[in-house]
Amino acid sequence: MRHVRDDLRDGWTLARAELRAQFRQIRSDRRRLLAVLFGIVGFGLFLAVSFLPGAIAFGSEFESDVPLGTAGMALSAVTVAIAYFGAANGFGRSQIGTVEPLARTSIPPRAVSIGRLVAQTVQSIWLVVPIGALLFAGVAIGGGPVVAGVVLVAVLPLAVVGLVIGRIVGGTARYVNERLQVSLWVKAVLLLGLMGAIFLGTQVLLSSRYETGSQFAVGPIIPGTPLQSYAAVVFAPFGTAPGPLGIAVTGLVLAAIPAGVLGAIRLETYMLVADLGNDSSTAGQVEESYGVPRLFEATTSARVAWRYLVRTRRDPRMLAHLTPLLFGAFGMAGSAFQDPGILLTVGPGAAVVAGAVLAGGAYCLNPMGDDRDQLPLLLTSSPSVDVMLRGRMLAGIAFGLAVAIGVGTPLALVEHGPGYVLGQSVLAVVLTTASAGIAVGLGAIAPKFERREYMNVERAHPSQWALLGFLFGGMIVGAIGFLLLWLTLSGEHVLAVAFGWLLYVTILGVASWGGYRYAVSRFDAFTLDDM
């Protein structure tokens, strides 16, 4: 028992030190602090306000009858959402700051696992807390503080269970990923397939639940389903009748909390002792050499671009920072799964926008930070970094055009005429080219040189806020371009449309060229002390 207390104390000390270091790092970096505040105020509150009317309506339903059907759906959604955070943490590989070897050897492995579990959990739910607080406030507005308190009591056990179960699932996936002796591309395809299957399955399940009623008129999903029965137990003070199934589910949920925590700690400790994530599985592998195709032999920048594409072919983890873009792709896939016709109507435009975002997001949002190991040689042997920057831009453009033209054009040929297909193809070239220049300028504003772990990949990832802002901005710019294309093909307001195109292309050109020139001037002024 004394060893358990010592491990808890040491783990808490490690977690507290990690959280303090994280807080100090954010506070010392003004840009990072502004990004965090923007994330809370912008993204977090936007989501909360979007669901606030639903929370108020849910609370008001308690005045007439306890909405067990809606409660079951809400509890399911909360459990799945929290499980996602847990799985992301379990799949990720925390490096315990810059002193991981010391931390591993100065305290027992179980204490390290406890500290890691606590620190990562707190770091991952910092955005969930304000959103949840606002939603519970909405429930209190609709049904009163007592209803909000009981709802909180119902949510907390399921949230903890979802967190630890997700952590175990994510940790198991990381273990399989490290031990699976296949190529990185096979691992990537398997991971994407698994994520897509989970997302599509959730979409189909939710659509089948809601297709017969409005958002707040959901009857019991299936009479006697586990979470509805659990809700009947928790909401017993409001007149619901708990059944044997509800009592059993409540007992299982409460018992799963300590069992899940112990299981997560044991799994984390096992992987810690096994020293997973040291890249030993890829050591000694020799990749085949690739000659430079004639298309990329024209200039030095083109040859640099080809080498970046070859590096991506050898190690797809270079694109790990693009993971948030998958959720947009999964959303499109979910809509297409329910209505295949959307592939021919929205699909071509979506492919063009996706290609434009990939053109800038793949290699340009952190152009120098990604090559930190080569920077001393580059800064001391080359008069300018313009060749490398242009190489990254060309690599991104080639990657983006493969999606925008390679996917968007065949889809457009099925549904649209030659004029639209030609216009869409020209727009794809314009957007991907402009995207690369704009992205490299954004990457020069706040380059990231420190290595950090994201999606089980440790490297100098670009800022996720910059990536998300670039994604949403690209969607807006792409939508404007397709609006101008539609107006052009309609043949109406010719002068106004021509002026719109002139203004549109001019703004994109100035932004792209300005971003590139700013990046060149900023990085040419760099010294080794700036890294």
Q: What is the mean predicted confidence (pLDDT) over 24-42?
A: 65
User: What per-residue confidence (pLDDT) applies to 209?
Assistant: 47
β-bridge pairing 452-454 and 457-459: antiparallel
Q: pLDDT, tens digit, for every residue of 440-479?
A: 998 888 777 777 766 667 777 787 777 878 888 888 999 9
Q: What is the mean predicted confidence (pLDDT) over 329-344?
A: 70
User: What per-residue confidence (pLDDT) applies to 368?
Assistant: 80
> With 90 as the cut, is the pLDDT of residue 241 above it?
no
Q: Read off the tokens for 47.
A: 């989501």
Q: What is the mean predicted confidence (pLDDT) over 421-446?
A: 92
Q: What is the mean predicted confidence (pLDDT) over 114-130?
A: 79
Residue that wins the pLDDT comparison between 486 and 125: 486
Chain-wide mean pLDDT for the chain?
79
> With 90 as the cut, is the pLDDT of residue 480 above it?
yes
User: What per-residue confidence (pLDDT) applies to 446?
Assistant: 74
User: What per-residue confidence (pLDDT) applies to 40?
Assistant: 61
Residue that wins the pLDDT comparison between 526 and 506: 506
What count of residues does the chain have? 531
User: What per-residue confidence (pLDDT) applies to 286?
Assistant: 44
Name 508's Cβ contacts closer than 8 Å, sequence gap at least 6: 430, 431, 434, 477
Residue that wins the pLDDT comparison between 383 and 257: 257
Q: State how far the Cα of 232 lies from the Cα of 246, in Å rounded to an integer.
A: 7
Q: State how far the Cα of 401 lies from the Cα of 383, in Å rounded to an integer.
A: 31
Q: pLDDT, tens digit, for every residue of 268-298?
A: 888 877 765 554 444 444 455 567 888 888 8
User: What per-residue confidence (pLDDT) applies to 530?
Assistant: 61
User: What per-residue confidence (pLDDT) applies to 469?
Assistant: 80
Q: State how far the Cα of 479 lies from the Cα of 419, in Å rounded to an integer.
A: 18
CA angle, corner 232, sides to 228 and 234, nearest 5? 115
At 105, the pLDDT band (50, 70, 90 cuts) reads low
* Share of residues in the chain with pLDDT > 90 (%): 23
Domain boundaries, the chain: 2-276, 294-530
**Cα dihedral 377, 382, 383, 389 sign:** negative
Determine if residue 284 is left, alpha or beta; phi over 0 gives left, psi from -120 to 50 gives alpha, anything else beta: left
User: What per-residue confidence (pLDDT) applies to 75?
Assistant: 85
User: What per-residue confidence (pLDDT) applies to 395?
Assistant: 94
Helix axes 494-524, 464-490, angle to 10 degrees: 160
Q: State how far the Cα of 221 lies from the Cα of 229, in Å rounded to an integer.
A: 11
> With 50 as the cut, is the pLDDT of residue 171 above it?
yes
* Share of residues in the chain with pLDDT > 70 (%): 77
User: What per-residue confidence (pLDDT) applies to 217?
Assistant: 37
Residue that wins the pLDDT comparison between 22 and 435: 435
At 429, the pLDDT band (50, 70, 90 cuts) reads very high
User: What per-residue confidence (pLDDT) applies to 497?
Assistant: 92
Could you please report the per-residue DSSP string of 358-396? Answer: HHHHTTSSSTTGGGGGGHHHHHHH-S-SHHHHHHHHHHH
Name 43's Cβ contacts closer than 8 Å, sequence gap at least 6: 127, 468
Q: pLDDT, tens digit, for every residue of 489-502?
A: 988 888 999 999 99
Measure Cα distances from 220 to 72, 151, 451 in Å. Answer: 8, 18, 49
